[in-house]
Amino acid sequence: MNTQAPVLQLKDIRKNFDAVVAIENFSLDIYPGEIVALVGDNGAGKSTLIKIVSGVYGPSSGTITIEGETVAMSSATMARSHGIEVVYQDLALADQQTVYMNMFLGRELTNGIGLLDRKTMISETEKLVKELDVRIPSAHATIRDLSGGQRQGVAIARATRWAKKLILLDEPTAALGVAETAKVEEIVQSLKSRNIGVLIISHSLDQVFKLSDRICVLRRGKQIGIRRTSETNKNEIVSMITGVN
């Protein structure tokens, strides 16, 4: 279906935390503009996989290839320099800072003499927040004063602001209401038109079937299989997740 080269290729990824094997024999290609859902029960290793791709953990073995180039992803900075953005399950926002400082966390804009360019950061934040329809009181609001859904909105807005190739979303709608969930799903779908690959973790099979092109199932760190969404059904995925037929 996709003639372009994959944005991301994972091959034989394995990760163990001392004796605990969190991921083994994991291989997956993600193509530009493709949405891949990663599903599995609690503790299956989904978040760990995302942290491997984003550079938080180095894989114990296996290779990560981005646009044909094999990378040693040893730090989060490197992942970002490759155009990969992440919305972590535990968010990674600085709670006592403003929305706009979080939007530019670690990538603050400065003017000619090295001072923070707050004006531009604020106006860019406002523009983005408006585009994505994230309902926050203002770009000046402190993260701590926002609701869980609003925080999620900020984290997603930040990721879409910076992503060039790939976005990894770890349960992006777990904290959201109905309308907000629909909005996030819309945003995820809009990434397709920007040719950005998406890897999304979700426990909602409805959502997975609505959004994804392919579904990858993990069970206890093992890759059970990958299915084209159009060629499978919920029953099959559920039995793959649980191991019960």
Partner 1 sequence: MSSAPSNAANPAMSMISRINIQQYVVYVGFLAIFLFFAVVLKDSGFLTVRNLSNIVLQTAPITIMAIGMVFVLSAGEIDLSIGSTVAVAALSAAVTMNAYGMIAGIAAGIGAGVAIGLVNGLLVAYVRLPSFLVTLATLGLFAGVARSLTNLRSIPVTDSTFTGFFGSGSLLGIPSLIWWTVIAIIAGHLIFRETKFGAHVLATGDNARAASVSGIPVPRIRLAVLVISGALAGLAGLLYAGRLQAAKYTLGETDLMTVIAAVIVGGTLLNGGKGSIIGALVGSLMMGMLNNGLILMGLSVSDQMIVRGLIILAAVAVSLREKLR
Q: Which residues bind ligand ATP (CB under 6 A)?
A: 17, 20, 22, 40, 42-48, 89
**Considering CB distances under 5 to 8 angstroms, the limit depending on partner class, which of partner 1, Mg ion, ligand ATP, none binds residue 44?**
ligand ATP
Q: How far apart are CA 43 and CA 114, in angstroms?
A: 45
Residue 190, phi then psi, degrees to nearest 5: -70, -20
Contacts of 73 (CB under 8 A, 6+ apart): 52, 53, 54, 55, 58, 64, 79
- Binding range to partner 1, per CB under 8 A, among 7-15, 39-47, 90-98, 169-177: 90-98
173, 241, 44, 175: CA torsion to nearest 10: 10
The residue sitting closest to Mg ion, measured at its beta carbon, is 47
Half-sphere exposure of 237 (CA within 13 A, CB side): 25
Q: How far apart are CA 45 and CA 243, in angstroms?
A: 16
Q: In terms of CB distance, is 49 or 188 closer to ligand ATP?
A: 49
Give min distance, CB of 44 to ligand ATP, in A.
4
Q: Kindly write out the interface string for residues 17-56 of this chain, putting x where it contacts partner 1 by CB under 8 A and - elsewhere.
A: -------------------------------------x-x
Q: In terms of CB distance, is 47 or 207 closer to Mg ion?
A: 47
Q: In terms of CB distance, is 45 or 197 closer to Mg ion?
A: 45
Residue 52 near residue 13 (C-beta atoms within 8 A): yes
Residue 117 near residue 195 (C-beta atoms within 8 A): no
Site for Mg ion contains 181 (CB under 5 A): no
Residue 230 CA to its chain's centroid (Å) = 22
Residue 74 near residue 55 (C-beta atoms within 8 A): yes
Give min distance, CB of 199 to ligand ATP, in A.
13
Contacts of 127 (CB under 8 A, 6+ apart): none
- Binding range to partner 1, per CB under 8 A, among 6-14, 24-32, 118-126, 216-224: 118-126
Q: In terms of CB distance, is 44 or 86 closer to partner 1?
A: 86
For Mg ion, how many residues bind (rule: CB under 5 A)?
2
Chain residues in the site for partner 1 (CB under 8 A): 54, 56, 76-77, 80, 86, 88, 91-97, 101, 105-108, 110, 114-116, 119, 122-123, 126, 129-130, 133-140
